[in-house]
Amino acid sequence: MLSVVLRKLKDGEVDRLRSWMAELNERQDEVRETFAQEGVMHERAYLLEMEKGPVLVYAIEARDFEAASRAYNDSTLPIDLEHRKVMSKVLAEPADADLVYECQADASPVRRVEFPADALDDFVLVRSDGHPLYHFCVCVDDADMRITHVLRGDDHLANTPKHVALFRALGAPVPAFAHLGMILGTDRKKLSKRYGAAAVEEWRDQGIFPEALVNFLALLGWSPGEDREILSREEMEREFSLERIGASPSVFDPEKLLWMNAQYMARMPAEELVERARPHAPAGVPEKEAALAAVELHRTRARTAIEMGRALSMYARDPEKYDPEGMKKNVRPETAAELERLIAKFEGVSSWSALELDAALRELAAEMKVSASRLIHPTRLGLTGITVGAPLFDVVALLGKETALRRLRKFVERIRDK
C-alpha cells in the first residue's frame, strides 16, 4: 500500500525540514533494512515550490500499515520528533474510502464512475533515486496550473482513480474528466510514437496547411452535425461540445487529410496560395501575373503546397530532365519529325490561345492521319518534363509562345541525341 501526505509549510519550517529531509533521504538503505521486517518498504520526502508557498510531500510504501504504525510509534527506535509527527498523520489517513469522480465518455451525459478502494493497486510515485514518475508529475502539474477539465484517451480510464487520489492528497480540486475513443491508423491499430504517428512538423514539411490539419484533427471523434466538414477555427470553438463526441474509435486517414488540404487550397485567395507554395517551389515561381494564372489552373489538381510549388516552378524554368517512363512510352523514332511539324504549325496560329492551339494540333493530326494523342503526350512531356497535369493547351497558352516553342525545340534535340 502507498500513502502520501502533503502539508503546507509555515514560515521558519522550510530550513528545519530541509535538514531533516536530507538526513532521511540519505539513509534510505538504513531505513529499509531497519523497518523491512515491520512491513515498511520505502519512504521519501520532497519539497514542492507551489505558487502559494512550499509544500512538504511525504510518501511511504508498506505491505502492512498496522505493523508500520507500531514500528514508527516505538519510542525505542531512533526516529526524531518531526519524523514521528509526519508519519503519525500519514498512517492515520483513511485508506478504505471509495474513489469517486465525474467523467464524460462515449458521447453520453456526465456519468458517475466508481472504483472501490481495494481495486486501486499500489503504484510508485517516485523512484528510489528520487525521480518522480508520470502519475505524480501530471497531477502536481495540473494542480499548479489550476486545470479544471482533462480530456484524454479512454486508455487512461484506469489511471483516473489514482489521479483522483493524488489530487485529493494535494488538496487541489479534482478536475472534470472525459475519456475519448482512441485514434487508430487505417490498419485499425492504435497510433503511437513508435507506430504510425507523425509530428506536426512532418505534416508541415509535406505541404499540409495548419488550418487544414486543425480542422482534420477536430473531426476525429467529433462532429458539428449536418455533414459539415470544412470549419473555421472560430466555428470549431463556438460549436464544440462533448455531447457530439462519438463513441467509436476514429481513424486517422492520410488520404482524407489530403482531401481536406485540397479543399482549403481551392478556397484560398490566389495571392496567398502563391506565397504558401513559394517555399516548396524548387525552381522558384514565375512573375506575378503568370504565377496567379498558374495557381488558378492547378489549384483543383494540387493537394499540397509541395504539389502547387512544383506546378509553379514548371513555368519558371525549362525542364532539365524528362520522365523516363514517359520517354519509353511516348517517344518513337518518328516523334522528333512529328514535333518539328507541330512547332511549325504552332508558329502559324493567329492567336496564342488554348482554343487556337488545340485546333492547330488536331488539324495537324488529321493531316498526318494519326490520333491527336500521338502528338499530345510527347508535347506535354517536352514542355513540362512529366506526363500528367493540367489541360495541355491551357499549359501551352500560359507558357507563352516563345517559351513553349523553345522547350519543344530543346526536346526534339534531346530525342535526336539519344
- Hey, which residues are catalytic here? 193
Nearest to 376 by CA among 390, 393, 363, 356: 393
DSSP 245: B
- For CA atoms 285, 390, 214, 268, the dihedral sign is positive
Q: What value, to the nearest 5°, has the Cα angle with vertex 179 and ends 178 and 181?
A: 140
Q: Up-side HSE of residue 408: CA atoms within 13 Å toward CB?
A: 27
Q: Which letter, b or e, does each residue of 20-34 get, where b requires 16 or more Cβ atoms within 10 Å of its Cβ?
A: bbeebeeeeeebeee
CB neighbours of 321 closer than 8 A, spacing ≥ 6? 385
Quote the CA–CA distance of 235 and 224 in Å, as a whole number: 9
Quote the CA–CA distance of 206 and 254 in Å, as a whole number: 11
Quote the CA–CA distance of 179 and 160 in Å, as a whole number: 10
Beta bridge partners of 44: 59
Query: Phi and psi dihedrals of 261, rounded to 5?
Result: -60, -40
Count of other CB atoms within 10 angstroms of residue 304: 21
Q: Is 230 left (phi over 0), alpha (psi -120 to 50) or beta?
A: beta
H or E stretch covering 99: strand 99-105
Q: What number of H helices and E strands is found in the chain? A: 19, 9
- Determine contact, residues 377/361, Cβ cutoff 8 Å: no
Quote the CA–CA distance of 264 and 209 in Å, as a whole number: 8
Quote the CA–CA distance of 267 and 344 in Å, as a whole number: 40
DSSP 158: G
DSSP 196: B
